[in-house]
Amino acid sequence: MCTCACSQKAQVPQVIFDTDLGGDIDDVLALEMVLNYHYGGQINLLGITLSKANPMAVQFLDGYLRFSGFCDNIPIGWVYNGVSPEEFYYLRPSLAASYKGKALLPYKKGVETTVPEGWKLLRKLLASAPDNSVELLSVGMLTNISRLIESGPDEYSRLNGIDLVADKVHCLHLMNGMFGENPFPESNTITDLPASRTVFEQWPGKLVTSGWEIGNMIPYPHESIENDFGEYGSHPLTVAYCNWGQMPYDRPTWDLTTVYEALEPKQNLFSYSEPGTIILDELGITHFSPSPEGKHKYIILDEDKKEEAIAALVKQVTKRQPLKM
């Protein structure tokens, strides 16, 4: 049965989720969080764009949306000619999985059908959104976001990318960079470094990022994977998780922290740095310069809030579970 979270659409945050689903497993958990917020009517999910350049990512996402009851209600865009086509571990086995004789991911869309360019879909969705209304979340490489802000006027908007996001996006929320002592190039930053540098240098509005160190502080408990999603094999999240690594393992919650920071109303789990400017150097190392007029912030988690953070993320990931099959 298809689901449409149609009520109170105008009163809740308008959200676009950009993900490199198909790489690390935390994207699947973050996707489940976003869908649960949408299902619960707490957000209006306008669309999802994929920055993972493997075509099976489209099939996985489309199948996952159908498994979750959303059918064709949520537009999908894909990063054509992206930087990371590697297959990695869970796309193929998840797409091949079945439960009680039915495909677990009953996809209909693939890149050979009519899946638009990620940046083009972003332009379309932003053009029709109210001014200053969109929370734009990106938890992967910034290829789609970079292409968006470098785009020119088109059939959707007379504005160029910079002016379009300045008008429509309330805040850009990222999982990107690393703050604190001994920083190293963070994976999302370095995998498409030109795109990352373009976004940090040219994004015209507010930008909040969750650095590598935040998600790394909060391991997702494997017990939740084992216990909260029904019988093993009945949910694509658990099939993907168990194919990404050797169970039992507790994966850091990098992408989940971005979703929680962006979408949890009045969240006081994380605190924020002072305002400033984030710069990525030519090696992909993150540098932060505080300044009162700066538009960038990064999030901070106090050591004594770690357990609270784990519980909060698990609660949102498992909100709809177990599904009735």
139 binds Ca ion (CB under 5 A): yes
Q: How far is CA 260 from CA 49, 115, 211, 215, 257, in A?
A: 19, 28, 14, 11, 5
Cβ-based nearer residue to Ca ion, 62 or 255: 255
State yes or no: residue 33 binds Ca ion (CB under 5 A): no
Instruction: Judge whether 29 and 237 are in contact, CB under 8 Å.
Output: yes
Q: Rounded to the nearest whole angstrom, what is the least distance from the CB of residue 226 to Ca ion in the complex? A: 23
The span of 64-72, 76-84, 248-256, 293-301 binding Ca ion (CB under 5 A) equals 248-256
User: Can residue 27 be called a binding residue for Ca ion (CB under 5 A)?
Assistant: yes
User: Is 255 a residue that touches Ca ion (CB under 5 A)?
Assistant: yes
Among the listed residues 82, 140, 161, 183, the single contact to Ca ion using CB under 5 A? 140
Interacting span for Ca ion (CB under 5 A) from 20-28, 61-69, 208-216, 238-246: 20-28
- The C-alpha atoms of residue 296 and residue 293 are separated, in whole angstroms, by 9
**The two structure tokens encoding residue 279:** 């710069």
From 139-147, 200-208, 275-283, 297-305, span contacting Ca ion (CB under 5 A): 139-147
- Distance between CA atoms of residues 39 and 12, nearest Å: 12
Beta strand 286-290 pairing with 276-280: antiparallel
Per rule CB under 5 A, is residue 183 in the interface with Ca ion? no
Q: How far apart are CA 87 and CA 57, in angstroms?
A: 9
CB of 187 to Ca ion, least distance (A): 8
Report the first-to-last Cα separation within the chain, whole angstroms. Answer: 11
| Interacting residues toward Ca ion by CB under 5 A | 20, 27, 139-140, 255
